[in-house]
Amino acid sequence: MDVLHGINKASLLAALVAGGLALPVHGARPAKELASKPTVADVIKASKPSDWRALDPDNTLYMEVPGGRVIIELAPTFAPRHVANIKTLARENYFDGLAIIRSQDNWVVQWGDADEKNPRPMKSARATLPAEFTVPMKNDVHFTRLPDRDGYAPRVGHSNGFPSARDPKSGQAWLTHCYGMVGVGRDNGADSGSGSSLYVVIGHAPRHLDRNITVVGRVISGMPLLSILPRGPAPMGFYDKPEQHVPIASFKVAADVPEAERSKFEVMRTDSAAYKAAVEAQRNRGGPWTKVAAGHIDLCNAPIPVREQQ
């Protein structure tokens, strides 16, 4: 995940300088330069192997599209039935040869079966499933709360690498619609989705979708293969000609791919001290480029570092 933040080439260097103090200053111009402090890159460099976890091949999807592989980490804790159904669809080759059929600017890219007249038959996968918009909080034992306040939920943070929210009053938890999160398209009925139509967020987080859609995972690698797809000319960004469709060569569970062909990534544990430091590096950046530290981080701006397995 790219976390460099400078705007000019010169600031690339500036972004690599490193410790200091930064309080939120809602002022005109800070009185003095901010001290430099560790960046996310510094935190990653100083992290220990135990701060990272490898992807579980049985809960990882590879979607092969023109240009390369999109890697999706599934979140069975939050959507057990949908995750199982998507894996069944993948194993029964449902998505192979289907296509990306929608690209709407600042919104989503979506794939599935565009042929409404002759839809691809499903084998043993379910055509609809009960909604999994939220789960009981007790099901998610890996939640690390962010101290930063959020407008959409009483509590937000990360659950084992996924941005999430929860409400102690209702006792429910849910994944949030940040950039790169993958959800299940549905019709008006809450229980009308199955995972045969999936989308990924490619713009500013549409958090109002939270608790309205079953969210099943997150793109770990390959977002630029999706985010640059030409926007569709039809309403809601759908492509209106078959030749616009972006073919999905294959869509597989990583565990079903020969080991030599697997991508080896690891994700920083979001319940680690290293992750806390990575978030703080973004919440209150040091100088010299930054002049005013934000003193806050939005859930969907908090980095979740991913790297090639060491």
Q: Which of residues 136-175 bind a second copy (CB under 8 A)?
A: 148-154, 167, 169-172
Min dist. Cβ of residue 143 to a second copy (A): 16
Q: Which is nearer to a second copy, 270 or 282 (CB)?
A: 282
* Residue 253 CB, nearest approach to a second copy (Å): 24
Nearest distance, CB of residue 234 and a second copy, angstroms: 9
Between residues 52 and 174, which has the closer beta carbon with respect to a second copy?
A: 174
Q: Using the minimum distance from each CB to a second copy, give the nearer residue, 4 or 46.
A: 4
Rule CB under 8 A: is residue 185 a binding residue for a second copy?
A: yes
Among 75, 87, 282, 304, binds a second copy (CB under 8 A): 282
**Distance of closest approach, residue 255 Cβ to a second copy, in angstroms:** 28
Binding string, 67-106, against a second copy, x = CB under 8 A? -------------------------------------xxx
Residue 27 makes contact with a second copy by CB under 8 A: yes
| Contact assessment for residue 106 and residue 66, using Cβ atoms and an 8 Å cutoff | no
Tell me how far, at minimum, the Cβ of 58 lies from a second copy, in Å.
27
Residue count, binding to a second copy (CB under 8 A): 85
Name which of residues 229 to 268 contact a second copy (CB under 8 A): 229-231, 235-238
* Binding of residue 36 to a second copy (CB under 8 A): no
Closest CB 49 distance from a second copy, rounded Å: 25
Interatomic CA distance for residues 138 and 135, integer angstroms? 8
CA distances from 169 to 41, 78, 146 (A): 38, 18, 18
Stretch that binds a second copy, among 23-31, 54-62, 82-90, 255-263 (CB under 8 A): 23-31
DSSP secondary structure letters along the chain: ------SSHHHHHHTT----------SSS-SSPPPP---HHHHHHH--GGGEEE--GGGEEEEEETTEEEEEEE-TTT-HHHHHHHHHHHHTTSSTT-EEEEE-TTSEEEEE---SSSPPPPSSS-S-----S-EEGGG-TTEEE-SS--SS-SEEEEETTEEEEEETTTTEEEE---TTEEEE---SSTT---SSSEEEE-SS--GGGTTTS-EEEEEEE-HHHHHTSPPPSSGGGB--SGGG-EE--EEEEGGGS-GGG---EEEE-TTSHHHHHHHHHHHS--TTT-SS--S---GGGS---EEE--
47 versus 176: smaller Cβ distance to a second copy: 176
For residue 307, the minimal CB distance to a second copy (Å) is: 15
Q: Which residues ranging from 198 to 217 are in contact with a second copy (CB under 8 A)?
A: 199, 203-213
Q: Is 295 left (phi over 0), alpha (psi -120 to 50) or beta?
A: left
133 binds a second copy (CB under 8 A): yes
Minimum distance, C-beta of residue 93 to a second copy, in the bound complex (Å) = 23
